[in-house]
Structure 1
Amino acid sequence: MISNRLVIWLVVSAVLTLAGCASAPTPAPTPAPAGTDHSSRYTITQDRAPTGNFDASGLSDAVPVYQAPVRAGNKSTYTVWGKQYSVLKSNDGYVASGTASWYGEKFHGHKTSNGETFDMYQMSAAHKSLRIPGYARVTNLDNDHSVIVRVNDRGPFHGDRLIDLSYAAAKKLGYQSRGTARVKVESITVKPNGSMFVAGQPFALDGQLPAQKAASTDNANAAKGEQGTGGGLFVQLGSFSSHNPAKKLQNRAKNVLSNPVRVRSVDTASGRFHRVQVGPFQDEGSARQTQNLLEAKGFSQSIVLTDSN
């Protein structure tokens, strides 16, 4: 009898103990350290190239223009990962050679160091010490190809890398598949009167007149009522190896725009591409305005470029 009571008591005690464990409050999680980033700014852990075969062959270089000095992004000195960096007082005469890398989809659509939005399909770059925004001519020393980029971000802060180009700029220089390249970086500065210098030497963009002479020529042509013969600027919505998806994108764009939309087929070293383009536009401001409208309508991968008719 006593043994039976003992067994019953042990069973009841075990049940009560288990019930108590089940109802016990869960310990509060340990608070994250102060300064922990909860914003999930970058949804992609590792950077990567965009999907598909992005055609950069028709992409225009950045066009250097004069801009008064600004404070945004130009704090000197600044510290990243315990290392201190200084920003140049002026970009005039800057020339350096070193390793270029590129950045793409992880940072696409996020803010650069001076508050602009990074677009991996545009000709832009990040540099540790050049004043921003600024411009630079970057030459791939392995193939002698050059591009002009707008410097609007800080970095790269990995190893001894000199400059980080957008994915589009890296592809135009031909090193996107390798990840890095040996390059020469030369600053481009523009004075208030429009005169331009690369690495401190007078400079005019390829195929264009120096700024002051071009302005007087344009005024003379306007007085005569002449129309420029150039192909103008286009907003390119996509480039496809097949004609059918290009035609579908063209029809979609026509439903939201009153501007002309064309499919232009071109032969490149990578094969035949069918480019969907809106335009032409006579100035960059008009092209950018239409590009912003298109982005608001869901056309998220457009680029502004020059193209012949």
Structure 2
Amino acid sequence: MKSQTRSLFAVGVAVGVLGLGSGATTAQTRGAAATPPIENGPAADYPMVIGDPYVVDGITYTPVDTLNYDHVGYATLDESGASGVTGAHRILPLPSYVEVTALDTGRTILVRLERRGPMRGDRLIALSGAAMAQLGAGEGAAIRMRRVNPPEAHRAELRAGREAPPRMDTPGGLLEVLRRRLPEQGAAALGDPRQATISGTVPTPDAIATLDPNEQAAASPEMEDTEKGDPATIAKDEPARPELTMAVEGGPARAPVMVPISPDGNYVVQLGAFSVRANAEKMARQVQGSIVTSDRLAVVRVGPFASRGQAEQALAKLRGRGYKEALILSLE
């Protein structure tokens, strides 16, 4: 009897131990299932590969890790049969993330760069079939491509082969500016000329020496950086009244537009949006204007004016002085 009891006890202990082992294994399995596969996790974005220079169509391309890459050019369909919303680029690190905008519609999508290419010199980026479909574009489509740092949730969608949430469409006013910067073939940089060009080459020391770090291309009507923001829509989320009710200090004694302003007026003439405030202040002094801030942009305006007719007079005078992108905005 005692022998049977010992046997039963031993069996019970063994079953209990096996049960505990089974439970632990199940918990571990559940934990593993809840963890994203390594190929789709954040670690899949590292390390970024830059690589050595190489030649396409007789041109040497030098991969470079530049954060402010922003170009207009043309897209081509990636003939490699790549899946997901992905792209190929000649110089940016792999992987990296870019926003691609169709310049005919303004539709903007997020793309993960995973390959080198395109292997023809007159195209800026090669897009997978899924990326082309999401963009609603075809072979040779005019596009803007700029490097971005998207949220991890959006990166994860692309790593998993799915589309990231749609980006905000680019407004019409900015599209017009971008289309004017588009070359007939190849690509053109939109940012600071000290950034790497499409070929991945670096400006010469002599060219860099001629650039004043406090003067960017937007300090005058002929040199604009208004592609940083759309003058027609920049006022959407900003204060209704200028931060500076009077002209910027140091400006001319009388406003060059020679149209009286009214503190309670509902119309202003907007001249440009600048990523460097010093450039905005320079323009504001030239036109006896004021500055408002929208996001990280400094926006130059003249006014307010009591009536739209007065704003139109000011607009005509300003455009006559060379401020071709000036436009009227209502503060109502």
Q: What is the TM-score when the length of structure 2 is the normalising length?
A: 0.32
Larger helix share, 1 or 2: 2
Q: What is the TM-score when the length of structure 1 is the normalising length?
A: 0.34
Larger strand share, 1 or 2: 1
